[in-house]
Structure 1
Amino acid sequence: MDVTVKTALISVSDKTGVVDFAKALAQMGVRIISTGGTAAKLSGAGVEVVSIDAVTGFPEMMDGRVKTLHPRIHGALLGLRDKSQHVEAMTEHGIEPIDLVCVNLYPFEATVARADCTFEDAIENIDIGGPSMIRSASKNHKFVAVVTDPGQYAQVIEQMRNNNGALSASLRSDLARAAFALTAAYDAAIARYLNAKAGVEFPNRISIALTQETVLRYGENPHQSAALYKLPTSGEPSVCNGRLLEGGTEISFNNLLDANAAFELVKEFDDPAAVVVKHLNPCGCAIDDDINIAYRKAYEGDVVSAFGGIIAVNRNVDVELAQTIMESYGRFGKALGASGFFAEVIISPRFEEDAVEIIRTLKTWGSRVRLIETGPIDRTKLDTSEFDVRCIIGGLLLQKRDLVGWEPEVVTCPTQTKPTPEQLEDLRMAWLVAKHTKSNTIILAKNKRILGVGAGQMNRVESGLLAMKQAGEEARGAVMASDAFFPFPDNVENAAEAGIAAIVQPGGSKKDPEVIAAADAHGIAMIFTGKRHFKH
């Protein structure tokens, strides 16, 4: 059933486009009721409005806290036009129906995001009348249209113009569903803020408000549908908050998972760093004073796995770095026996315009490369309030993010042999890479680059053997990182046989004395971090 819009109520905090919207309604003969600042803006633009107090018979009061909470407003929204008792009640009490409500809410999230926001500021930016009108109109969308976003204005006006001032049941239903999602997200943001203020880490009920960013081609596999949703409050530099600059093919579910893994690892380093990720695990990582050299070292770590991988750098991509990345096979791959090179995604804080053009024009490797620009990396902006969320069937597991990095003040060295400064730097890098690699994890590194990765194995010994096999003879003099403690000395014995010079691990095993003794017997330096980094 179509509903002709004869009366509209407009009361918005975000006034983007509202004057043009109101003018278009007025040109179609719609009577407009408005409140406070919105009424002043519309009147000032020449739109004839009826003030809210002329409808309710009461002035706006209590600093604007009370203005629309009145039967002549909510009765006008909730009354069923096809039910005689409702129509009679409206007539008896002088309630005239409202056919369209245009409301958006006080900017609560923007307010609490300000560094100078006080608790009183936050409370005053909790909208009451707006959500109440939205819910009333949405409940009665059989007869009332509810517009909550400036992005909806054009569609509403177009349909009214093409339909003699009427809106379809289908559009009213779409608008109502969007409106209920808005109020749910709004309440979730308020609850999150109040819980944080009260120091409640895991409340009895939790709502996670997300906004759809895009529908993806498919999920992990082609038979699974998928979409990307975004947290509206997170300002942390991330893949989700990044900007897609270039991409001949739509970015995929798996691309986004891998891109996130790569960027979160490269964010760990202050030095120029490059990471190559394949199937959520780093197959290459290196740091250097020169980002171009860092990239080359990361790529050379495993040129076979790098094919079709994800590249992340923590420095801007200029012309030289773009050329280095896109010609990786031509410069390094042939000499190392790789069959070719192709990157799915490149992530960087910024891509220079000329660099984008180079990537775009090198079609041999670049025709499908997606570029994600994240903006400057600032570890002071890490969102400590955000949860790490894992899905299980029927529920969610929530935990605080693992934001612990390298903590030199708590690192101990229980062995007779101590690491050299160069080894300590390699140990730091290997430890941070282990943090971002699937457990069980063993990482080998030397000269500020990863040589071998053993990831996701059912036992730590197997992970170590895989890492050593990948490193080969380069393992001699290298360092080893383990994401969790050694329950037995076997990994140390294998490390000694491969020529490993130093090891970093959390410590804390009942067998620590035996593990330390094995390291001492082979002259291996070992340091304990006191924290583990399982990543399931």
Structure 2
Amino acid sequence: MKEMVLKYGCNPNQAAARIYMHNGGDLPLEVLNGRPGYINLLDALNSYQLVKELKEAIHLPAAASFKHVSPAGAAVATDMSDTLKHIYYVDDLELSPLATAYACARGADRMSSYGDFVALSDTCDVATATLLKREVSDGVIAPDYTEEALGILKTKRKGTYCVLKIDEDYKPALLEHKDVYGVTFEQERNEAKITTDLFKTRPTRNKDIPEKAQRDLLIALITLKYTQSNSVCYVKNGMTVGVGAGQQSRVHCTRLAGNKTDIWWLRQHPKVLALPFKEDVRRPDRDNAVDVYLSDDYDDVLADGAWQLVFTRCPAPLTREEKKTWLGELHGVSLGSDAFFPFGDNIERAHRSGVDYIAQAGGSVRDDHVIAMCDKYNIAMAMTGLRLFHH
């Protein structure tokens, strides 16, 4: 197929929309079901690059959950605790490694992943298709699908679910182009290889970055490579637990991603696990209710009785002291930044969310201050010398 005519562009008023190859060749993807939109395809092509690179770097099946051209989550196939299976709503499923990767990619930030576009590094199997079928999602891209998995996906959304097959051997041209206000931009693709060699320069007193932490730092940096900048990413146990994208201030990225990480960890608190949901409350509504329960607005919900919509009884609040104590037990988080940290306040905020390992570009005039702040909290930091802006 030489080109694909789309229903419209980013918005319905942008009627003339299509994708095609500058060189006149065939498109590297095929529509197996549904009708993808302009933003769907942007998410699909960005997210597939991410999972392809994760698989090449870590040699495990990988998955990503994309929304508006940035990852809500990304993960490789690792063991999941029973608690994570419960809060990710997969404790009733038999998961393959690929399905596990997607469950983790979507599960850490389920509110952001609602209505996502999914990327899979490997052939979509029945287990992954079964998980996808019951989640609110716009589409999926993968190098292939088993016959049974494709049959399952074709029944989703009354038969309109978007299923894309990508040529895994496709190699894009070195130069890429983008038009803005009638002006064409041209640049080399960002083909920088992200490997553990980037972690050799460790200016902090603590230089110990264990193998699993190095894997998590690789996941963070590869995720950032396809995240709208400025961006910061927190990773633990092979999965992103907080992605802060598209902020003008780096500390706001760090706060945003840190807040998401805090919520991910607080969702595992015994009080949250024991919330008395009514049986007919849907998964997205449970996610929203947990978010409100953990917010500063919960007292208002108690006051106006809105809790009765989702709970069988009024849950006691999780107090500020209980939150602080529980968050104090979070450790071993790895953090990546797509550029240097200009101030030590980023490290202060990262420390509060259990960060023990950092990879960032370095090169700020205040590097000494950032290093000193890491030393204050015994954080091991690598300076990669590699900026990963993505726009």
Q: Is this a same-fold pair by TM over 0.5?
A: yes
Decide whether aligned partners of structure 1 residues 232 and 397 sit closer, same or farther in structure 2, where only a CA change above 3 A counts: closer
Aligned pairs for 1:29-44 (under 5 A) are: none
Residue 209 of structure 2 is aligned to residue 419 of structure 1: yes
Q: Could you tell me which of 32, 35, 47 is aligned with 1:262? A: 47
AA at the equivalent of 2:130: Q
Residue 101 of structure 2 is aligned to residue 294 of structure 1: yes
Q: Could you tell me whether the CA contact under 8 Å between 2:174 and 2:188 is conserved in 1? A: yes
| Post-superposition CA distance 1:318-366 (Å, at most 9, x none) | 2222112213xxxxxxxxxxxxx321111111011111111223x4x46
**Equivalent residue pairs, number:** 301
AA at the equivalent of 2:221: W
* TM superposition shift of 1:311: 0.4
Task: Say which SS state the counterpart of residue 510 (structure 1) adopts.
Answer: coil
* TM superposition shift of 1:477: 2.6
- C-alpha RMSD of matched pairs (Å): 1.9
The runs of at least 4 consecutive aligned structure 1 residues that moved more than 6 Å come to: none
* TM superposition shift of 1:224: 0.6
* TM superposition shift of 1:518: 0.9
How far apart are the structure 2 equivalents of 1:396 and 1:232? Answer: 16
| Post-superposition CA distance 1:48-92 (Å, at most 9, x none) | xxxxxxxxxxxxxxxxxxxxxxxxxxxxxxxxxxxxxxxxxxxxx
Q: Could you tell me whether the CA contact under 8 Å between 1:484 and 1:533 is conserved in 2? A: yes
Decide whether aligned partners of structure 1 residues 233 and 512 sit closer, same or farther in structure 2, where only a CA change above 3 A counts: farther
Match of 1:403 in 2: 191
Residue 219 of structure 2 is aligned to residue 219 of structure 1: no
Match of 2:145 in 1: 351
Q: Could you tell me whether the CA contact under 8 Å between 1:280 and 1:437 is conserved in 2? A: yes
Match of 1:229 in 2: 20
Per the normalisation by structure 1, the TM-score is 0.54
Match of 2:317 in 1: none
| Post-superposition CA distance 1:421-468 (Å, at most 9, x none) | 111110110111011111110101100001011110110001111111
Q: Which ranges in structure 2 are unaligned for 5 or more consecutive residues?
A: 79-96, 266-329
How far apart are the structure 2 equivalents of 1:495 and 1:251? Answer: 38
Q: Could you tell me whether the CA contact under 8 Å between 1:285 and 1:301 is conserved in 2? A: no
* TM superposition shift of 1:308: 1.4
* TM superposition shift of 1:212: 5.5
How far apart are the structure 2 equivalents of 1:406 and 1:212? Answer: 33
How far apart are the structure 2 equivalents of 1:220 and 1:309? Answer: 16
Bigger RCO of structures 1 and 2 (CA < 8 A, at least 6 apart): 2
Q: Could you tell me whether the CA contact under 8 Å between 2:261 and 2:353 is conserved in 1? A: no
* TM superposition shift of 1:233: 6.7
* TM superposition shift of 1:510: 1.3
Q: Which ranges in structure 1 are unaligned for 5 or more consecutive residues?
A: 1-210, 328-340
How far apart are the structure 1 equivalents of 2:244 and 2:158? Answer: 30
Task: Say which SS state the counterpart of residue 501 (structure 1) adopts.
Answer: strand
Q: Could you tell me whether the CA contact under 8 Å between 2:224 and 2:232 is conserved in 1? A: yes
Aligned pairs for 1:297-312 (under 5 A) are: 297-312=104-119
Match of 1:252 in 2: 37
Q: Could you tell me whether the CA contact under 8 Å between 2:196 and 2:218 is conserved in 1? A: no
* TM superposition shift of 1:476: 3.7
Match of 2:251 in 1: 461
Match of 2:382 in 1: 527
Per the normalisation by structure 2, the TM-score is 0.73
Residue 112 of structure 2 is aligned to residue 322 of structure 1: no
Q: Could you tell me which of 331, 354, 358 is aligned with 1:499? A: 354
Q: Could you tell me which of 235, 238, 242 is aligned with 2:29? A: 242
Match of 1:389 in 2: 177
How far apart are the structure 1 equivalents of 2:216 and 2:142? Answer: 24
* TM superposition shift of 1:513: 1.4
Match of 2:370 in 1: 515
| Post-superposition CA distance 1:352-410 (Å, at most 9, x none) | 1111111223x4x46321111113x35xx633x43222222242111100011313334
Task: Say which SS state the counterpart of residue 54 (structure 2) adopts.
Answer: coil
Residue 160 of structure 2 is aligned to residue 372 of structure 1: no
Percent identity, aligned pairs only? Answer: 34
Decide whether aligned partners of structure 1 residues 518 and 234 sit closer, same or farther in structure 2, where only a CA change above 3 A counts: farther
Stretch of structure 1 that moved more, 445-454 or 284-293? 284-293
AA at the equivalent of 2:77: D
Q: Could you tell me which of 61, 70, 86 is aligned with 1:272? A: 61
